[in-house]
């Protein structure tokens, strides 16, 4: 079986320690050279599958084979340990033998520095590093850094990860992996932290990469352009769409129709759960350590039977979002010669009621700072005048809501709606009713985002400031947010690198690395401006609105 495909997974199952089963009966194959994407709702186990394939997690059942050399990247690469050196970060994405030698070399250097090594251990570690190909790898690091990092990297063992932007860290790692020649690449959300120009670069790199790739991504534009196969994780199992993401929504709708009527689908799922329970019971009889998992499988089957038919086994997330902005004056905000620090030159603009304005540009140009000014923070230069009856609601980029932490979802919503029944109905519209007793900090990123958007809806704001609103959302949740904004009667100003999301906006304010600010009248021109800012003066209708 191993020779047929670069990645083969058969009846894979996994339960987190002390928790119910996350998935089972997951089977699919990725052929050599295919670029496949794992998609599914937040929390279904996409990242977990990648961690099982790398050996970080151990599966509870099933088999998998990954043929050839493998390199992998986690979604938080370079983010979890900012005090590391670049060398320490890059060692963690090196091939296994070099990772081991690199870690030993770093440890030996530290031992030499603190006097616990007389130099012998260091000499051995240095020799091993060279013998394994460490110096060749360092040459590749240098070449990738020249392409990916704005400032020169002279010494990887001294330059700190924190001295690079999040986008630079991610691009450096991606550059290395995509040019490594590895047989298989496992990439978890490679587009996270990347601005739109860098996402365009990533698409070209993936398309030209000859490695077999299995990736997790919620970037619909990227999926449409690079994925040759879609693996869908849902209903505790998996199914495969053997084509582009462009044709995936239609294929999924047809699949749902072909599954037959509600009763047939219910019976099929009941048999699947029953069969799985029987297998787990047999394993428990052979090894008592499997008893908890067997009991969990039995409970899952019993709950399903007790609920009775329908529903079908794989129901869409029915997320209904209602955003209704109260009336506001025609002019929402007037910016006069506004600037923040030395991020961008002073500029003037007006935002009107009902507009959808996208704030775009490379990372680090001050887009979030400009959003803060629109939320009432006093700019360093210039002034902002708000229209009467303007009520501003803010969506935070990292869902960092201290006022929500430690509180259950129901309590947070009940603060705003008073009654339990109304609160539960509101949570149900956002697909959060099953998490009503869950504390905010334990929710997935997408669940946190949905709860925050629900609260903005209830509070009745007529101006929404959104900072990377789709960053942690699964695709269905992103689409639900977009539908909500379509019907929202107020004004929306958003910072985003999600091109599918931005495509529905009316106009754009773009801030370049050099601090210039441009007004771009539609999505097509905005994408042209991002791809080639040096040609902005010749772009149709582009207007430079910064002052000299």
Q: Per-residue pLDDT tens for 439-461?
A: 888 887 667 877 888 888 889 88
Most confident of 76-80, 363-367, 409-413: 409-413
Q: Is 253 exposed, middle or buried (0-12, 13-18, 19+ CB in 10 A)?
A: exposed
Report d(CA 531, CA 362) in Å as an integer. Answer: 10
What pTM, to 2 d.p., does this model score? 0.81
pLDDT surpasses 60 at 310: no
Q: How many CA atoms are closer than 13 Å to the CA of 47, on its beta-carbon side?
A: 15
Spatial contact of 94 and 137, defined as CB atoms under 8 Å apart: yes
Q: How confident is the model at residue 432 (pLDDT cuts 50, 70, 90)?
A: confident
User: 329-342, pLDDT tens digit by residue?
Assistant: 689 999 999 999 99
Compute the average pLDDT of residues 243-269.
80
* Band of residue 290 on the pLDDT scale cut at 50, 70, 90: confident
* Helices and strands in the chain, H and E counts: 18, 19
Q: What's the token pair of residue 236?
A: 């505790």
293 burial type by CB count under 10 A (0-12 exposed, 13-18 middle, 19+ buried): buried
Per residue in 508-517, pLDDT (tens digit) is 999 998 899 9
Instruction: Say which residue, 430 or 31, is predicted with more confidence.
Output: 31
pLDDT at 312: 41
Rounded Cα distance, 544 and 267, in Å: 63
pLDDT value at 539 more than 80: no
For residues 216 and 461, give the distance between their C-alpha atoms in angstroms, rounded to a whole number. 34
* pLDDT above 90 coverage of the chain, percent: 55
pLDDT of residue 319: 63
Least confident of 149-153, 284-288, 537-541: 537-541
As a whole number of angstroms, the distance between CA 427 and CA 539 comes to 45
Q: Which residue has the tokens 């496949």?
A: 36
**Res. 314: pLDDT tops 80:** no
For range 149-174, the mean pLDDT: 91
pLDDT of the residue at 220: 95
464-508: pLDDT as tens digits? 999 988 887 888 888 878 877 877 778 999 999 999 999 999 999
More confident residue, 312 or 162: 162
Over 80: is that where the pLDDT of 81 sits?
yes
Q: What is the pLDDT of residue 3?
A: 47
Q: Which residues contact 535 (CB under 8 A, 6 or more apart)?
A: 528
Dmax (CA) of the chain: 79
Give which of 441, 507, 503 is closest to 478, Cα–Cα: 503
- Give me the pLDDT at residue 504, please: 93
Q: Mean pLDDT across the chain, nearest whole number?
A: 87
pLDDT for position 322: 58
Is 545 in contact with 348 (CB distance < 8 Å)?
A: yes
Which two structure tokens, joined as six digits, stand for 212?
């077999």
Contact between 365 and 196 under an 8 Å Cβ cutoff? The reply is no
Confidence of residue 263 (pLDDT cuts 50, 70, 90): low
pLDDT exceeding 70 applies to what percent of the chain? 92
**Alpha-carbon torsion (536, 167, 491, 472), positive or negative:** positive
Sign of the Cα pseudo-torsion (213, 29, 478, 503, in order): positive
Q: What is the pLDDT of residue 379?
A: 94
Pair 462, 387: CB distance under 8 Å = no
Residue 530: per-residue pLDDT:
92
């Amino acid at each position: 079986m191993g020779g047929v495909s670069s990645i083969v997974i058969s009846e894979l199952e996994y339960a987190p320690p002390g928790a119910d089963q996350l998935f089972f009966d997951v089977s699919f194959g990725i052929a050599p050279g295919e670029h496949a994407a794992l998609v599914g709702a937040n929390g279904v186990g996409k990242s977990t599958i990648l961690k099982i394939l790398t050996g970080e997690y151990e599966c509870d059942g099933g088999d998998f084979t990954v043929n050839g050399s493998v390199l992998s990247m986690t979604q938080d690469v370079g983010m979890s340990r900012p005090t590391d050196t670049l060398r320490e970060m890059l060692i963690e994405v090196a091939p296994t033998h070099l990772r081991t030698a690199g870690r030993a070399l770093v440890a030996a250097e530290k031992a030499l520095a603190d006097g616990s090594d007389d130099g012998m251990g260091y000499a051995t570690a240095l020799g091993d590093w060279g013998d394994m190909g460490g110096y060749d790898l360092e040459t590749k690091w240098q070449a990738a850094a020249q392409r990916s990092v704005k400032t020169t990297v002279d010494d990887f063992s001294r330059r700190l990860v924190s001295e690079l932007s999040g986008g630079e860290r991610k691009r450096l790692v991606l550059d290395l992996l995509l040019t490594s020649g590895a047989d298989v690449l496992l990439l978890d959300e490679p587009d996270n932290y990347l601005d739109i120009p860098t996402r365009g670069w990533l698409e070209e790199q993936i398309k030209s990469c000859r490695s077999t790739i299995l990736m997790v991504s919620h970037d619909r534009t990227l999926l449409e352009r690079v994925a040759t196969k879609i693996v869908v994780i849902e209903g505790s199992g998996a199914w495969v769409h053997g084509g582009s993401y462009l044709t995936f929504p239609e294929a999924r709708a047809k699949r749902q129709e072909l599954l037959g009527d509600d009763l047939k689908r219910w019976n099929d799922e009941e048999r699947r759960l029953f069969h799985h329970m029987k297998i787990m019971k047999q394993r428990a009889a052979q090894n008592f350590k499997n008893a908890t998992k067997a009991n969990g499988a039995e409970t899952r089957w019993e709950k399903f039977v007790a609920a009775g038919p329908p529903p079908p086994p794989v129901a869409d997330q029915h997320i209904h979002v209602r955003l209704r902005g109260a009336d506001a004056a025609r002019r929402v905000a007037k910016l006069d010669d506004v600037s923040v620090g030395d991020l961008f030159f002073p500029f003037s603009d007006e935002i009107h009621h009902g507009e959808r304005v996208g704030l775009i540009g490379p990372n680090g140009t001050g887009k979030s700072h400009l959003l803060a000014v629109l939320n009432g923070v006093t700019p360093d230069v210039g002034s902002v005048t708000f229209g009467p009856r303007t009520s501003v609601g803010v969506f935070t980029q990292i869902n960092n809501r201290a006022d929500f932490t430690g509180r259950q979802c129901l309590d947070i919503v009940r603060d705003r709606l008073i009654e339990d029944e109304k609160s539960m109905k509101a949570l149900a519209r956002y697909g959060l009713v099953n998490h009503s007793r869950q504390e905010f900090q334990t929710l997935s990123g997408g669940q946190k985002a949905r709860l925050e958007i629900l609260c903005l809806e209830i509070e009745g704001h007529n101006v929404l400031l959104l900072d990377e609103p789709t960053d942690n959302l699964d695709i269905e949740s992103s689409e639900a947010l977009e539908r909500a904004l379509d019907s929202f009667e107020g004004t929306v100003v958003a910072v985003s690198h999600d091109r599918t999301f931005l495509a529905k906006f009316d106009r754009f304010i773009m801030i370049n690395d050099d601090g210039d600010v441009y007004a771009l009248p539609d999505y097509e021109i905005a994408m042209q401006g991002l791809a080639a800012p040096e040609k902005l003066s010749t772009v149709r209708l582009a207007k430079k609105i910064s002052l000299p």
